[in-house]
Structure 1
């Protein structure tokens, strides 16, 4: 397994940090940003269409965005105790580099819900 190194290219459009994912680290997944098979992801597609790296670049609040706050995202958040909106807020406030560094230090893909 390759070591976890902060990498802004490992931040998914929705704010997940692929750089701390086990499958990514063992080379079984290219990460959301580089994964052409992830065309099903509406968040990724929206960011690509708008030329955003992540939803943090969008002027709209992710909590009010129907693409970001869909039922699949809510199920994912529940199952994985994930707060992707908190990830997007962190990126907006501190930048992608700081987020990648923080997630690398935590060794996790997302900020956990409280």
Structure 2
């Protein structure tokens, strides 16, 4: 897979892995191991076919990632580093989610930085 497509997939998966896991837990009657398997299989199949999926804009992916990484599940404001640590701690470093969130952390931080850069640039523009 080309680097650009891989980065797109990583941003997509970073923003959606935790919600997918929660949905998978419901589908598997709370069996966390089976839910992890379901998420891993789903993301693996998506990765293999990623080029066939219609693309959201990079700006939209960044905005979704920013919102998810700056808000805790209970709606409290946070920052991306603390949010990644919270997710990894909640699911465990050896879980699928824990491993993935650590692997995706550089792209998560880059994505949230791009949003802040866009906001700063928009503020500098005359109205």
Q: TM > 0.5 between the two?
A: no
Task: Compare CA radii of gyration and give the structure with the larger one.
Answer: 2
Normalized per residue, the structure richer in helix is: 2
- TM-score, normalization: structure 2? 0.29
- TM-score, normalization: structure 1? 0.31
- Higher RCO, Cα 8 Å, sep 6+: 1
